[in-house]
Amino acid sequence: MFFVFAQCDGNATAAAARYRELHPGEHTPGAAAFRGLAARLYSSGSFLPDRTDTGRSCRIPTARLEEVLEDFDRDGTQSVREVGRRLGVSRTTVHRQLQEESMHPYRYVRVHTLQPRDYTQRMVYSRWLLGEIARNPSFCRFVLWTDEALFTREGCFNAHNSHVWDDENPFAVRTHAAQERWSINLWAGICDDFVVGPYILPERLNGTTYQNFLENALPDLLEEIPLEIRRNMYFQHDGVPAHYAANVRAFLDQAFRDRWIGRGGAVLWPPRSPDMNPLDFFLWGHLKVRLMSLFFFFFKFKNI
């Protein structure tokens, strides 16, 4: 470690990065460990800590370790602090033992609340889709998955997963709840390896404006899609009111016949199922993060 530290001219951050390159896949020390190593060497001439009492062992008896694992097998939602207090061991010891057993804390994922009848509809749709894939493994290439999303000034921001890496606390802030607000209603689609759009729709979508989009704008957006796919394309959308309008359903019956998926369509789209649409579980979140990064960079550059 010290040789790497010396090669990096005493830069602890660079030394930690270099150490990770030299020893990939291992638990590598951070910048603080390199600083402490250098401080001990310069002050005492030794790499070892200057203390006679190294403290009690962090290992716990095998029987107690089994109690910890049994506790988490019964209820994985417990905190390490609660288990440690109940079993008479420290929180850090419990946490270390769980890591040594290759156990990790996983976050909850928020999903839509399903009604009792939704499970049956999701099962029917899933069986239909799996049946089509069994008959034609390339079936999903011919499905145009579509969705709309509202982009606002607030953007998409997760304070838990967003960090600012620095050697000192920069006290980063992010403004919100602005009085001047704006929003853009975007439509986009995914077909085969193509992203179709995005296309700006009216903020308040109804059956008339949506049909006008399907008739006049969608054909132009599909020009890059190969003709073979367009001839056999399935059109998918969810069951929002504008999609369920009588004029919209009549147009889809004429344009796609029995090859459209949606509320009232030849293939029923299960309600409250964004997890079955690639735009909902990937594209919109990715676009919002990228666009808001560009938005804040623009305003930061503008105010310099």
pLDDT digits (tens, 9 = 90+) for 92-147: 888 887 877 777 777 666 666 778 888 889 999 999 999 999 999 999 999 999 98
Secondary structure letter of residue 244 according to DSSP: G
Tokens of 24: 């990939």
What average pLDDT does the segment 191-197 reach? 86
Confidence of residue 54 (pLDDT cuts 50, 70, 90): very low
Q: Any idea what the Cα angle at residue 234 is, between residues 229 and 240, rounded to 5°? A: 140
Percent above pLDDT 90 for the chain? 21
Residue 160: the pLDDT is 47
Rounded to an integer, what distance in angstroms lies between the CA atom of residue 280 and that of residue 41?
55
**Residue 290: exposed, middle, or buried by beta-carbon count in 10 A (0-12, 13-18, 19+)?**
exposed
* pLDDT of 268 strictly over 50: yes
- Does one domain contain both 121 and 227? yes
Asked if pLDDT for residue 195 goes beyond 50, the answer is yes
What is the tally of structural domains in the chain?
Answer: 3
Segment 67-88 shows an average pLDDT of 80
Q: Residue 260 in 3-state DSSP? A: strand
Same domain (yes/no): 227, 265: yes
Average pLDDT estimate for 244-261: 92
Classify residue 184 as exposed, middle or buried by CB count within 10 Å of its CB (0-12, 13-18, 19+).
middle
pLDDT, greater one: 250 or 292: 250
pLDDT of residue 17: 84
Residue 136's pLDDT is 92
The reply to whether 274 and 135 lie within a common domain is yes
Phi-psi map region of 302: left, alpha, beta (phi>0 left; psi -120 to 50 alpha): alpha
pLDDT band for position 244 (cuts 50, 70, 90): very high
E-strand spans in the chain?
143-152, 183-191, 194-201, 234-236, 260-261
Same domain, 136 and 35: no
Give the pLDDT of residue 104: 77
Whether 153 has a pLDDT exceeding 80, the answer reads: no
The alpha-carbon radius of gyration of the chain (Å, integer) is 28
Based on the fold, state whether residues 35 and 142 are members of the same structural domain: no
Domain coverage including residue 72: 62-101
Which pLDDT score, from 0 to 100, does residue 164 have?
59
**Least confident range of 49-63, 146-160, 199-213, 282-296:** 49-63
Could you report the per-residue pLDDT of 5-43, keeping only the tens digit for each? 777 877 878 888 888 888 777 777 777 777 777 777 666
Please state, in angstroms and rounded to a whole number, the distance separating the CA atoms of residues 65 and 54. 22
Helix-then-strand count for the chain, H and E = 13, 5
User: Which pTM value belongs to this model?
Assistant: 0.55
pLDDT at res. 161:
47
Q: Are residues 67 and 211 in the same domain?
A: no
Do 88 and 186 share a domain, yes or no?
no
Which residues lie below 8 Å from residue 215, measured CB to CB, with a gap of 6+? 251
Name the DSSP class of 213. I
Q: Are residue 23 and residue 147 in the same domain, yes or no?
A: no
CA angle 131, 134, 135 (to 5 degrees): 90
Inside any domain, residue 109: no
Cα 204 to Cα 148: distance, rounded to the nearest angstrom: 12
Q: Are 292 and 182 in contact (CB under 8 A)?
A: no
Q: Is the pLDDT of residue 249 over 60?
A: yes
What size, in residues, is the chain? 304
Within a domain: 30: yes
User: Per-residue pLDDT averaged across 162-180, rounded?
Assistant: 60
Q: Provide the pLDDT for residue 1.
A: 72
Residue with tokens 């030794």: 46
The answer on 121 and 268 residing in a single domain is yes
Mark whether 95 and 123 lie in a shared domain.
no
Task: Tell me if 20 sits within 8 A of 32, measured CB to CB.
Answer: no
Pairing of strands 183-191, 194-201: antiparallel
Which among 87, 90, 55, 56 is positioned nearest to 71, based on CA atoms? 87
123 and 245 belong to one structural domain: yes
